[in-house]
Amino acid sequence: MNPTVKDVARDAGVSVGTVSRVLAKNETVNPAIRQRVEEVIERLGYRPNSLGRSLRLNKSDIIGLVIPDITNPFFAELAKHLETLASAAGYSVLLANTHEDPKAERKQVQSLLGRAPAGIVIAPVSGSLVGEILPDGVVSVAIDRGLTGHSLVATDNFEGGRLAASHLLELGHRRIGYISGPSTTDVSIQRLNGFRGRIEETFSNQSQHVVELTVLEGNFDYKSGEAIGRQLLLGDIKQRPTAIATANDQQAIGLLRASRDLGIRVPEDLSIVGFDDIPLASLVLPRLTTVRQPLEEMAEIAVRAVLRGGAIMGLVTLKPALVERDSTAAPPAR
């Protein structure tokens, strides 16, 4: 019988993913490991055959990636990392953009299933309808946002919200605004709960000054950051927040635009904290303080789960990190 990629991996003492990376001539493979794998391939007479694999496993070398909004830099970055890792393992990625629409998402997933994918990685829309149509035989992993009954790899969004609040409290801010994402998305709810929870901890400690928190709901896009930012900033200078945190960087960048239009200096008059750490965050002026999501690690865990044939990993939460740049400072003396 023809040796399989698993035989090669076993004899070489590496993972199937490593064998795939050697076959894909991926430079990231350690030369000594590459040589050992190539020797085993030679000795066993292993010949990769994607058609054979498709027929034998009734699976293609395609990984479906389903995301709600390709125009959101977070998802564009995620797609880039996931595609890099998948192609290194000898797989192609078929990208489906669902426009945050459950019906469109269902249609896209059904069409992907018709291609006998090796697996599907999905950041589901709110109110997703695909839970029941993803068959057990297809490895499916939720990424970033949860999908009932499916493994999930995501940032610890609650902790990320806490990090943003702690940063502003430590700087001395006591009048704080928060622009959340849509209340229908789990990541937005978790971030707000973490942020608000950390603020409320100060209420329980009498030695702290009381903190005023104003929360308004946004839509994870530049426009809502700008429009809601204007709402929060139009009040009297003595009433308006000295710091505003947002549920993602796009809203923070929209808020930056509103502050500039209103002649409010950042960070001298107003501190701003975002969430995601998209590439633009370090390019806008002032460079944005934000909470970084470990995107590459998230993508790697999702791809590995598909390559492994979907070892159920349950819930994997990854640590966020505060990235302090130039958009936050102590509150102005008033």
Give residues in contact with ligand RIB (CB under 6 A).
Answer: 72, 74, 144-145, 187, 220, 248, 250, 275-276
Nearest approach, Cβ of residue 263 and ligand RIB (Å): 28
Q: Which element (helix H / strand E) includes 84?
A: helix 73-88
What separation in angstroms does the CA of 156 have from each of 147, 198, 302, 323?
Answer: 16, 15, 16, 16
Going by C-alpha positions, the residue among 217, 216, 220, 195 that lies closest to residue 125 is 220
Going by C-alpha positions, the residue among 64, 87, 67, 86 that lies closest to residue 76 is 67
First to last CA, the chain: 80
Question: By the 8 A CB rule, do 325 and 288 touch?
Answer: yes
**Closest CB to ligand RIB among residues 44, 95:** 95
> Token match 């973490």: residue?
194
**Closest CB to ligand RIB among residues 40, 152:** 152
**Closest CB to ligand RIB among residues 281, 307:** 281
**Closest CB to ligand RIB among residues 38, 156:** 156
Nearest approach, Cβ of residue 49 and ligand RIB (Å): 38
Nearest approach, Cβ of residue 80 and ligand RIB (Å): 15
Nearest approach, Cβ of residue 178 and ligand RIB (Å): 14
**Closest CB to ligand RIB among residues 74, 91:** 74
Residue nearest ligand RIB by beta-carbon distance: 248
Nearest approach, Cβ of residue 184 and ligand RIB (Å): 11
Ramachandran class of 205: left when φ > 0, alpha when ψ lies in -120 to 50, beta otherwise: beta
Contacts of 290 (CB under 8 A, 6+ apart): 249, 252, 273, 274, 275, 276, 277, 281, 322, 323, 325
Nearest approach, Cβ of residue 300 and ligand RIB (Å): 17
**Closest CB to ligand RIB among residues 41, 123:** 123
Nearest approach, Cβ of residue 219 and ligand RIB (Å): 10
Output the six-digit token pair for 145: 């946002």
Report how far Cα 41 is from the mean position of its chain's Cα atoms: 37
> What φ, ψ does residue 290 adopt, rounded to 5°?
-155, 175
Going by C-alpha positions, the residue among 276, 238, 240, 275 that lies closest to residue 258 is 240
**Closest CB to ligand RIB among residues 112, 142:** 142
**Closest CB to ligand RIB among residues 72, 151:** 72
Output the six-digit token pair for 134: 């993803």
Nearest approach, Cβ of residue 276 and ligand RIB (Å): 5
